[in-house]
Structure 1
C-alpha cells in the first residue's frame, strides 16, 4: 500500500493509494469487496498505530458501506483518521474514493469504522496515554 499525504489533507488524517489491478477484481472487473475491506483494515491499522505509538489489533469493523464500484485500472484513494480515543481503544474512520487517473475524477466508493485496541507484548489491552487524542 502506497502512502500519500496531499497538502489538503486534514491534520491527523493519513492517505493511502492502491491501484486496482486484475488480481484484486471480481468477475465484473471491479474491486472485490473483500479486497476493499483488506485495504481499509490496513489503513485503519497504520493510522491507529501512529496514534497509539504501540501495537494495535482490530476488534471490530462496522458500518461498512460500498457506495460505488472501483473499476480495474483506477486507484482507490483511502483517507483514515482517528475519530474517537478511549482508555485503550480508538475508532478509525476510513473513507475511500475511486480515482480515475486519466480524468482526475473522484467518486466516493467505500466507508467504514474500525475499532482498534492498543495491546501490550502479551496481547492484552494497554492504556493509551492521555495525550493521545484525535
Structure 2
C-alpha cells in the first residue's frame, strides 16, 4: 500500500449518527447533552487529526440550538479547525439534521470548541499554523 502524504494537515472531520429513542427527551427530540457530546467528539477528532497530538477540550463557546433534531433523523456532525494559537485550536462544529425519507437538510446546532494540544507529558505543545494564517 502506498502511503498518502499530506502537504497540509486536514482541518475538517465529518461524522454521521442516527437519532434513536435513547438519544431523545420526552418530546422525541435530541437531548442537548447528546448533541454536545457529538459536537465535542467532532471537535476532538478535528483537532487531533490536524495537530497529530493528544488534545483536550479547554472550552466550549456559545452553542446555539436553532432547530430540534427528531427521532429517526440522520445527524451529520462537521468539525472544522478555523483558528490556531500556539497550542490551542478553535474548532467550529455544526450539527446538520437530514430527513432520510425526503433528503431535507437543516443546520440545527452550531458552536465553537477550544482544544489544547498536549505533549507526551501532558503539557501544552505547539501546533502548526493554519495554511491561511502562515
Please tell me the TM-score bracket, short chain as reference. 0.7 to 0.9
Whether 1:97 aligns to 2:96 is yes
Q: State the aligned residue count.
A: 123
> Which residue number corresponds to residue 106 of structure 1?
105
1:7 aligns with: none
TM-score by length of 1: 0.87
CA distance, structure 1, for counterparts of residue 50 and residue 128 of structure 2: 10
2:119 — aligned with what? 120
- Asked if 1:19 corresponds to 2:18, the answer is yes
Q: Give 2:51's aligned residue.
A: 52
Q: Deviations over 1:75-122 (max 9, x none)?
A: 111111100011000100001111100110001110000000000122
Q: How does 1:60-99 map to 2 (within 5 A)?
A: 60-99=59-98
1:28 alignment counterpart: 27
Q: CA deviation at 1:51?
A: 0.4
Which ranges of structure 2 fall in alignment gaps of 5 or more residues? 1-9
Query: Any gaps of 5 or more consecutive residues in structure 1?
Result: 1-10
Do the aligned residues in 2 keep the contact of 1:85 with 1:133 (CA within 8 Å)?
A: no
Q: Residue 133 of structure 1: CA displacement?
A: 4.3
Distance in 2 separating the partners of 1:118 and 1:84: 13
Q: Give the drift of 1:55.
A: 0.3
Structure number with larger C-alpha Rg? 2
Shift of 1:124: 1.3
Root-mean-square deviation (CA), in Å? 1.4
Contact 1:87–1:127 at 8 Å: present in 2 too? yes
Measure, in 2, the Cα distance between the counterparts of 1:27 and 1:93.
29
